[in-house]
Amino acid sequence: MKESLGPASTVYPEPVFIIGTYNDDGTPNAMNAAWGGIANENRIMICVDKGHRTAHNLVKRGAFTVSMADEDTVVACDYVGIVSGNDEPDKFAKAGFHATRSDKVDAPLIDELKMCLECRVISYDDDEMLIGEIVDIKADPDVLTDGKVDPAKLKPITYDPVNRRYYGFGNQVGRAFYDGKALR
């Protein structure tokens, strides 16, 4: 018999997305977001509070990037979730991040994060749901196996909203579109 825990914004896994944008003065900005996921073919949805500097930036430039936080960058990725770009305009540099301009959209790639989506803003509505078209994905060669992203090398992290913890990926436990055939 299951227990009732009440409503909450909890699923497993939740991502740790680092959203990259340019401020009005051209300096890069980054924030941490756990509410979001793939919305459709080559589309991403992220809930971005209107109060964030990132919200202002992405509307103005019509673009943003989404990098995957990983085990090697937990402290920096947590930092950009704690500190507001409104209070600390220099937060990107203080995180130890360096930016490279995307060749696809008007937004910065973060050199220290190894996989990044370059996105064009499709919509950003009153419900604070940002929808972006994934124009390209960029990744460091050292996280690829046979030209494809390998999570064992990328080491992405996931956010546990109940206990406020970050977890790494564990072992492979199955093959998708395969294991279920045993029941067919």
Residues 83-142 that bind a second copy (CB under 8 A): 83, 94-96, 100, 109, 114-117, 127-129, 133-141
Structural tokens at position 95:
């995180």
Of residues 24 and 47, the one with the C-beta less far from a second copy: 47
Of residues 25 and 75, the one with the C-beta less far from a second copy: 75
Looking up tokens 């939740």 gives 14
Q: Are 50 and 87 in contact (CB under 8 A)?
A: no
Single out the residue of 30, 31, 80, 105 in contact with a second copy (rule: CB under 8 A): 80
At position 20, the amino acid (one-letter code) is G
Residue 26 Cβ vs a second copy, minimum distance, rounded to whole Å: 21
**What CA–CA distance (Å, rounded) separates 119 from 174?**
31
The stretch among 23-31, 54-62, 152-160 that binds a second copy (CB under 8 A) is: 152-160
Single out the residue of 19, 58, 63, 66 in contact with a second copy (rule: CB under 8 A): 66
Please enumerate in sequence order all residues whose Cβ is within 8 A of that of 165, keeping only pairs 6 or more positions apart, or say none. Answer: 159
Of residues 48 and 57, the one with the C-beta less far from a second copy: 48
**What CA–CA distance (Å, rounded) separates 109 from 111?**
6
Three-state secondary-structure class, residue 105: coil
